[in-house]
Amino acid sequence: MTELPAPDPSGPEGSPDRPARRLLLVHAHPDDESINNGATMARYAAEGAHVTLVTCTLGERGEVIPPELAHLSGAALGRHRLGELRDAMRALGVEDVRLLGGAGRYADSGMMGLPDNDDPGCFWQADVDQAAGLLAEVILEVRPQVLVTYDENGGYGHPDHIQAHRVAMRAVELAAAEGWDVPKVYWNRVPRSVAEQSFARLCDDLPGLPFDKAAGVDDVPGVVADERVTTAVDGSAHAAAKAAAMRAHATQITVAEPYFVLSNELAQPLFTTEYYELVSGERPRAREDDLFAGIGEAS
Binding site for Zn(2+), by residue number, is 29, 32, 161
Termini Cα distance of the chain: 30
Alpha carbon distance 134, 252 (integer Å): 27
Instruction: List the one residue out of 235, 238, 246, 240 whose CA is nearest residue 88.
Output: 246
Contacts with 50 (C-beta within 8 Å, 6 or more apart), sequence order: 6, 7, 19, 21, 22, 23, 96, 142
By the 8 A CB rule, do 273 and 258 touch?
no
By the 8 A CB rule, do 251 and 65 touch?
yes
DSSP per residue, 62-129: PPP-SGGGTT--HHHHHHHHHHHHHHHHHHHT--EEEETTSTTSSB---STTSGGGG-TTBGGGS-HH
CA dihedral of residues 220, 226, 227, 228 (deg, nearest 10):
10
Alpha carbon distance 248, 9 (integer Å): 33
Q: Packing angle between helix 128-142 and helix 159-177, nearest 10 degrees? A: 60
3-state secondary structure (DSSP) of residue 193: helix
Please give the annotated binding residues, written as ranges: 29, 32, 161
Instruction: List the one residue out of 182, 97, 95, 184 whose CA is nearest residue 140.
Output: 182
* H or E element that contains 256: strand 254-256
Alpha carbon distance 88, 92 (integer Å): 6
